[in-house]
Amino acid sequence: MSHHDHSHNHSHDHADIFHSHAPAGKMQLAFFLTLFIFAAEIAGGWLSHSLALFSDAGHVLTDIAAIGLSWFAMKQSEKPANQEMTFGYYRAGILAAFLNGLLLILVTLWILWEAYQRFQHPQPVSPGWMFVSAGVGLCINLYLGLGMRHEEDINVKSAVLHMLGDAAASAGVIIGGLIILFTRWYLVDPLLSVLIAVLIALGAWRIVKQAVGILMEGTPKGIQFEKVVNEIKSVQGVQGVHDIHMWSITNGKNALSCHVILDGRMSIQESQIILRAIEHRLAHVGIGHATIQIEDSNHPHTDSEFCAAIETHNHS
């Protein structure tokens, strides 16, 4: 018997486990403001000959892609489930985050190569334009990043990571500009570029790792496999559980399927009470969507908690 979300008549609510609030309006604003930052930093990099500003502009370009993809993904995720996409379009956001992470890694490699060239042949840099362009980036990124830092959606998180990283990079560019202004030590510019590249790479790795985990149907982050199994087994009337799968539909939307062994003489009404008890416990450990197959001890199965081949019988 398959079973999906049922409402609970309890005094507390589990609804927020299965909902994420993606601020599409905020992402739209962020998209256009980030375009403005990109234009300011490209102009500033060209006028000042600063690789650090160009590097930051490169990072901002990935922000534009990230925010644009996230904005698109949010609109896609609003589409209802249908016969072709029975889970809806939530994974569009995960794909956007994954592509964004890969794009960031490529940008990192470009910055490192350019920085290597600058170390070989240092170039004079005009700090005045560095202050102006980096100042614009610092202010806007702080405004956007701090304004959306509490959102749980993976795409918003990745975009906020970009914004705060850019804010830090812009602050670094301003400090670098001060050093150049007072010392004329132009190597600080490629040095800053390398630090920005490392910052980008660390963020990119976290995004790619989390997105791959979801796309590979891995056990959701923050969910302990053994704890979930023990919660199911602890429900009175459950004799065993096997063929367990746990995954995320998207960030924060966790699902589970399993086979549960009950007494074969039990009525359907009695089994429903046990199902509701299992659902209730799963909701408390962060799983809002459960599909549970009921079996008796005579049903062919192994004792493994993981997927096992079902025994087949020849029928004449």
Percent of the chain with pLDDT over 90: 24
What length does the chain have? 316
Q: Average of pLDDT values for 219-234?
A: 91
Segment 224-242 shows an average pLDDT of: 93
Residues sharing a CB contact under 8 Å with residue 105, sequence separation 6 or more, in sequence order: 201, 204, 205, 208
Q: What share of the chain is helix, strand, coil (3-state, %, to 5)?
A: 60, 10, 30
- pLDDT at position 234 is 93
Amino acid at site 227: K
Alpha-carbon span 252 to 17, nearest angstrom: 7
296-310: pLDDT as tens digits: 888 877 667 776 554
Quote the mean pLDDT of the chain. Answer: 81
pLDDT (0 to 100) of residue 241: 93
The residue whose two tokens read 């030590």 is: 185
Which of 76-80, 149-153, 182-186, 270-274 is predicted most confidently? 270-274
Q: CA dihedral in degrees (109, 115, 120, 123; nearest 10)?
A: 150
Look at residue 21 and tell me whether its pLDDT is greater than 50.
no
pLDDT tens digits for range 248-274: 887 778 999 999 999 988 999 999 999
Prediction pTM value: 0.68
CA of residue 82 relative to chain centroid, distance: 24
pLDDT, position 16: 33
Does position 79 have pLDDT exceeding 90, yes or no?
A: no
Q: How far apart are CA 178 and CA 188, in angstroms?
A: 10
- Point out the least confidently predicted range of 69-73, 118-122, 127-131, 240-244: 69-73
Say what the pLDDT of residue 273 is: 94
Q: What's the CA gap between 193 and 111, in Å, rounded?
A: 7
pLDDT for 80 equals: 80
Q: What's residue 23's pLDDT? A: 62
- Among 7-21, 145-159, 287-301, which stretch is predicted with the lowest mean pLDDT? 7-21
Cα–Cα dist 210/15, whole Å:
24
List the structure tokens of 283. Answer: 């909701």
Task: Give the per-residue pLDDT at 10.
Answer: 42
- Residue 94 confidence (pLDDT) above 60: yes
Say which residue the tokens 């890969």 belong to: 102
pLDDT at residue 2 tops 90: no
Residue 244 has pLDDT above 90, yes or no: yes
Q: pLDDT value at position 308? A: 54
Convert the pLDDT of each residue in 119-139 to its tens digit: 888 888 888 888 899 899 899
